[in-house]
């Protein structure tokens, strides 16, 4: 069992805020969720691929190529996330290897397609969370977590027992199953999903998944139901809520206006959204001429103008500045 540092053990959450998983840990519900999540690994439905592979015995047939243990590429304070996450001390990112999507332009392809990293058990993963808390991070930021929901929940039990008290960020590509989100209800404080596409055929072509749009929209609605609009403390640091990302692709391939219309109408006009301009041709993008350039400054400005025209009120400050 991990022992928290003296500072962590005695520290109260800023402003009296307590992450949701702490109460679940005290009641025993967190351990029960971990048990239920682990059971689902034997016929896995913990992402919207629904591979139904027994991941406790191997990974053959699993799109995520991840078995019983999570694979971690790196963990460290990250100062380049959105301001409500990074603050002054950084967001405590844990990058999981592999992915349940197959985006052909992925900027982290060595992690998501090739799986560079090390396998970790629950105690090791808990230790990473606690180490990031010891370093002063504002939150624990699980990057590409959709295929390791069970492993995360299992690791949270010893982490919470040892004094973890930071908000949890679920930083996802947005292809999440309702079964996984039900297990995460009350555990995740901040959902940070992508809303990648408005057209399912575009999603199929570039991310190799046929039903991304319908799955993504249902997931976004459920995430918003659980945690609501993003709330921050007196220092502007995120406590709870949805922080949504949308990557602008060249020639309108992402269907930006339609995505933003869904967010404004189906979620909330107060959804905090980062309209990202950092697309660049990576990995296999060269196979598709239409993906062979960055979005222009005009295209990015049009995306931001569309968001404002639809009544979206909380755009990340970097949204209007391309290539930052």
- 261 domain-assigned: yes
Band (pLDDT 50/70/90 cuts) for residue 167 is very high
What is the per-residue pLDDT for 27?
A: 98
Provide the 3-class DSSP secondary structure of residue 91.
strand
Domain that holds residue 91: 6-320
Question: In Å, what is the CA distance from 89 to each residue of 167, 229, 301?
Answer: 14, 23, 30
Identify the pLDDT of residue 197. Answer: 98
H/E element, 304: helix 297-309
For residue 114, tell me if it sits in a domain. Answer: yes
91 falls within a domain: yes
* Residue 209: count of CB within 10 angstroms of its CB: 23
| pLDDT tens-digit readout, 42-96 | 999 999 999 999 999 988 889 999 999 999 999 999 999 999 999 999 999 999 9
Max Cα separation, the chain? 57
Q: Measure the CA–CA gap between 115 and 99, rounded to whole angstroms.
A: 9
Q: Structural domain tally of the chain? A: 1
Tell me: the pLDDT tens digits for 263-307?
Answer: 999 999 999 999 999 999 999 999 999 999 999 999 999 999 999
> Which is more confident, 244 or 7?
244
Assess if residue 34 is contained within a domain: yes
Q: With respect to residue 1, please indicate whether it lies within any of the assigned structural domains.
A: no
* CATH code (residue 226): 3.20.20.70
CB 314 within 8 A of CB 84: no
C-alpha closest to that of 297 among 250, 259, 246: 250
Q: Give the confidence band of 16 by pLDDT, cuts at 50, 70, 90.
A: confident
CA distances from 117 to 66, 94, 99, 121, 214 (A): 12, 11, 13, 13, 31
Whether 296 is covered by a domain: the verdict is: yes
pLDDT digits (tens, 9 = 90+) for 197-242: 999 999 999 999 999 999 999 999 999 999 999 999 999 999 999 9
pTM here is 0.94
Length of the chain: 324
3-class DSSP assignment, residue 77:
strand
């Amino acid at each position: 069992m991990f022992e928290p540092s003296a500072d962590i053990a005695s520290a109260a959450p800023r402003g009296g805020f307590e992450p949701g998983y702490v109460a679940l840990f005290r009641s025993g519900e967190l351990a029960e969720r971990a048990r239920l999540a682990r059971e689902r690994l034997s016929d896995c439905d913990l992402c919207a691929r629904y591979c139904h592979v027994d991941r406790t015995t191997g990974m053959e047939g699993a799109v995520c190529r991840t078995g019983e243990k999570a694979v971690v590429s790196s963990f460290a304070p990250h100062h380049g996330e959105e301001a409500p996450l990074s603050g002054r001390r950084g967001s405590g990112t844990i990058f999981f290897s592999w992915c349940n999507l197959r985006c052909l332009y992925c900027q982290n392809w060595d992690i998501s397609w090739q799986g560079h990293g090390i396998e970790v058990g629950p105690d090791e993963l808990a230790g990473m969370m606690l180490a990031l808390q010891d370093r002063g991070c504002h939150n624990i930021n699980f990057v590409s977590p959709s295929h390791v929901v069970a492993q995360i929940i299992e690791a949270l039990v010893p982490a919470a027992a040892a004094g973890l008290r930071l908000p949890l960020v679920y930083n996802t590509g947005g292809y999440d199953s309702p079964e996984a989100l039900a297990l995460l209800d009350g555990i995740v404080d901040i959902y940070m999903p992508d809303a990648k596409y408005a057209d399912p055929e575009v999603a199929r072509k570039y991310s190799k998944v046929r039903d991304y749009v319908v799955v993504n929209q249902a997931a976004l609605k459920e995430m918003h139901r659980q945690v609501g609009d993003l709330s921050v403390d007196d220092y502007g640091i995120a406590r709870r809520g949805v922080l949504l990302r949308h990557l602008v692709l060249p020639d309108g391939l992402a269907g930006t206006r339609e995505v933003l219309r869904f967010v404004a109408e189906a979620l909330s006009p107060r959804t905090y959204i980062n309209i990202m301009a950092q697309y660049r041709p990576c990995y296999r993008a060269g196979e598709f001429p239409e993906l062979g350039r960055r979005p222009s400054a005009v295209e990015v400005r049009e995306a931001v103008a569309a968001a404002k025209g639809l009544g979206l009120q909380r755009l990340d400050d970097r949204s209007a500045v391309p290539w930052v």
